């Protein structure tokens, strides 16, 4: 079921904010190239959510660097609701969070079950509500891809971390099962997609 979300006001510095028009146009082509690629190894489908684009702005000594999503994304009310971590009756709720200090740039697309790939930026998260049982999460960026199969029961909330390590000599991403700090990372991040996978039985 596709969820329609109203618009979101500009957020403070160091957070996701409304994407300026000039940067939005420049980003559309890059996001389309990354988001259009499909990963193999997982089968299934997913449905994404709705509204405007956002940027994460990292502060550097030389100035700030913006990493942007060209919409749609959920609004502030949906973000707050997702951070209540309420389980979905009869369903498995997965939080895929991207919030590590060494991850400050790059659009990385993520998906579940081989379905639609959704862009993320640093300090963002995606919530998936899906059928209980094994779920195959995937990611892809300009230099690679990966996947992780997680298991969950009906009514359970599970966390998965998209860990980025970006250094001038090496860059990589990987998916890891969540830890005791994953919930805190979600609270410090911005919801960029809220996905209902399939129809509840």
- Mind listing the pLDDT tens digit for each residue in 8-49? 333 333 433 433 433 333 333 333 333 333 333 454 333 334
Task: Compute φ and ψ for 128, nearest 5 degrees.
Answer: -110, 130
- Give the model confidence (pLDDT) of 72-99 as tens digits: 899 999 999 999 999 999 999 999 999 9
Task: Compute φ and ψ for 27, nearest 5 degrees.
Answer: -85, -25
Output the pLDDT for position 131: 96
94 vs 65, more confident = 94
Residue 201, classified by CB atoms within 10 Å of its CB into exposed (0-12), middle (13-18) or buried (19+), is exposed
pLDDT for 140 beyond 50:
yes
Residue 91, classified by CB atoms within 10 Å of its CB into exposed (0-12), middle (13-18) or buried (19+), is buried
Instruction: Indicate the SS3 state at residue 184.
Output: helix
Domain ranges in the chain are 39-51+73-196
């Amino acid at each position: 079921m596709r969820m329609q979300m109203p618009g979101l006001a500009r957020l403070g510095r160091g957070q996701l904010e409304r994407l300026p028009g000039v940067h939005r146009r420049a980003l559309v082509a890059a996001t389309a190239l990354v988001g259009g690629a499909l990963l193999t190894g997982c089968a299934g489908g997913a449905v994404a959510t709705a509204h405007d684009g956002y940027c994460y702005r990292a502060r550097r000594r030389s100035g700030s660097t913006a990493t942007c999503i060209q919409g749609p994304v959920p609004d502030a009310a949906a973000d707050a609701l997702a951070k209540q971590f309420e389980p979905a009756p009869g369903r498995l709720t997965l939080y895929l969070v991207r919030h590590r200090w060494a991850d400050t740039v790059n659009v990385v697309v993520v998906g579940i079950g081989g379905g639609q790939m959704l862009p993320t930026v640093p300090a963002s998260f995606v919530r998936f509500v899906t059928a209980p049982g094994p779920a195959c999460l995937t990611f892809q960026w300009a230099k690679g891809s990966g996947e992780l199969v997680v298991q969950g029961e009906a009514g359970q909330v599970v966390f998965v971390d998209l860990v980025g390590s970006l250094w001038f000599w090496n860059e990589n991403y990987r998916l890891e099962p969540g830890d005791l700090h994953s919930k805190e990372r979600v609270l410090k991040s911005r919801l960029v997609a809220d996905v209902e996978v399939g129809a509840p039985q």
